[in-house]
Chains A and B, each alone.
Chain A
Amino acid sequence: MNEGEFEKALERGFAGMRARRGPCPAAEKLAGLASGELPVDEAASIRAHVAVCGACDAMLVRLRKFEEAKADDLPVDAREERMRAKVFLGRRVRRGAVAVAGYAVAAGVLVCGYLGLLPRRNVERTVPSWDTVESIGLNRVRGGAAPLAAKASSRFVILSFFVDIRPDLRYEAVLDGGEAKSVTSYDGVGNFHLVVDRRLLGTGRHVLTVREGNLRTVEFPFEMK
């Protein structure tokens, strides 16, 4: 086989590997393989899958590094106080804040109810047609790398983004330093959707800032065509 034939054969070879792949094992099995805790037979079958699966191989590489770091005794360079605050201080603040917020909301609802200010259910709302809503995914790692496009006919744009959340904290999103909007992860894991008016996303650079309580902010810089 010469070099030109080899190039073509590569494609067929990779297709063959793809065909042998089968379903991915659970992450626990990969972790077991990385730590050497799997029985020999099972380890061999997981290894055979990893040999033809990029996603599992990538995860296994990371899990091996995790295991290897056990033996490492080198001092670490990290902001320990920041982590400690998240674990300890965050809890105390949250406990207090939740109690205060709970009483405040209950009191507010009672007063509004008494004064007849609570919203009525049958209020008509204008719901945009789906033709006029567009979805754009933001990625912190690749943020701003390539300009994003939204159709001129879109009235609203759904910005989708991911923040590694803690379920008991409150999150706010701010577009270009504007008004802060409270946001909630729709899957409880950290994936968010934020609906914004298309007119706010003019040509040029924008930044979506997500605030995690008072602990940290995560920025998603991006550019619109």
Chain B
Amino acid sequence: MRPEDYDARTDEELVASFQASGSEGAFAVLWRRHWARIYRQCLAFAGNQADAEDLTAQAFTRAWREAHRFQGGNFLAWLAVIARNCCVNHVRSAWSRLVTAAGDEITAMADQQHDAQGSQEDRTFSAELEQLVNQLPDEQRVAVKLFFIDGYSYEQIAGLMQCDVKRVKSYLQNAKRKLQMLWFEPAEAKGKGSGT
């Protein structure tokens, strides 16, 4: 296939050509068609341009390396799954040290407070609180869970949420205020829906 013919081919034909001959021209057309969409998704996930650019390049590099595994179907969907895996691995790697460090503390906290879970009243309150927490906006909800349930420190949460400690404290303060407001609202106003 001459390079100028590539533009007229479907994605799947281009992948087949790349699989057969390793033609860089075929892959270049796939790149041109899809990099912006993959970048946009990576940017939405990572929240910053530098990481999004790295993740996009990583996804295409992996697609190049693993093109022989593509068995037909929608190439863009296949590519998007690769990009998503790159994104997830990227975040996991960055979190891994924080998660490992906090894991023991969380278990210890759960053991310590196990006795406090006994009463029916506590269980009812906890279930209602869960509903209220899940009505909070994304950032507040995540910060509250990471701090009060998962047991991370302000600094760790700042690392996980890619913001500064001041912002984390502000999320937590606003969330507590909102939870209190929701709790003391009339009963019919509670439990309107879940954020997750």
| A interface residues, Cβ below 8 angstroms from B | 1, 3, 6, 9-21, 27, 31, 47, 50-55, 57-63, 65-66, 68-70, 72, 74-80, 82-84, 86-88, 90-91, 137, 139, 141-142, 145-146, 160, 162, 164, 166, 189-191
Task: From B91, B138, B145, give the contact of A53 (CB < 8 A).
Answer: B145
Please name all residues of chain B whose beta carbon is closer than 8 Å to the beta carbon of A54 when the two chains form the complex: 142-147, 149-150, 152
Residue of chain A at shortest CB distance from B143: A54
Alpha-carbon distance A180/B84, docked complex (angstroms): 34
User: Contact at B130–A51, with CB atoms within 8 Å?
Assistant: yes
Cα(A59)–Cα(B162), bound, Å: 13
Instruction: List chain A residues, Cβ under 8 A from B64.
Output: 87, 91
For B61, give its contact among A9, A86, A190 (CB under 8 Å): A86
A-B contact pairs, 19 of them (CB 8 A): A15-B109, A15-B110, A15-B126, A17-B126, A18-B149, A21-B149, A50-B196, A52-B130, A54-B143, A55-B150, A57-B142, A57-B145, A63-B88, A66-B41, A83-B60, A87-B57, A145-B164, A164-B94, A166-B61
Name the residue of chain B whose CB is nearest to the CB of A75.
Answer: B36
Q: Is the CB of A61 within 8 A of B113?
A: no
Q: Chain B residues near A20 (CB, 8 Å)?
A: 126
Give the B interface residue count (CB, 8 A).
Answer: 87
Assess whether B93 is in contact with A47, with CB atoms less than 8 Å apart: no
* A62 and B87 contact, Cβ closer than 8 Å, known pairs A53-B150, A55-B160: yes
Chain B residue contacts of A12, Cβ below 8 A: 113, 116-117, 122, 125-126
Which residues from chain A contact B123 at a C-beta distance below 8 Å? 16
**Chain A residues within an 8 Å CB radius of B110:** 15, 18-19
Known: A10-B179, A74-B40. 12 other contacts (CB 8 A): A14-B149, A19-B117, A47-B194, A51-B133, A53-B150, A59-B91, A61-B138, A70-B41, A72-B44, A88-B24, A160-B97, A164-B94
Closest Cβ of chain B to A167, distance in Å, is 10
> Are B125's CB and A16's CB within 8 A?
yes
The answer to whether B159 has its CB under 8 Å from any CB of chain A is yes
B: which residues have CB within 8 A of A? 24, 27-28, 31, 35-37, 39-47, 49, 51-58, 60-61, 64, 80, 84, 87-97, 99, 106, 109-110, 113-114, 116-117, 122-123, 125-130, 133-134, 138, 141-152, 155, 158-162, 164-165, 176, 179-180, 183-184, 194, 196
The answer for the CA separation of A115 and B184 in the assembled complex, in Å, is: 85
Picked from A31, A50, A58, A141, the residue with its CB within 8 Å of the CB of B146 is A58
CB neighbours of A63 from chain B (8 A): 45, 84, 88
Separation in Å of the A170 CB from the closest CB of chain B?
16
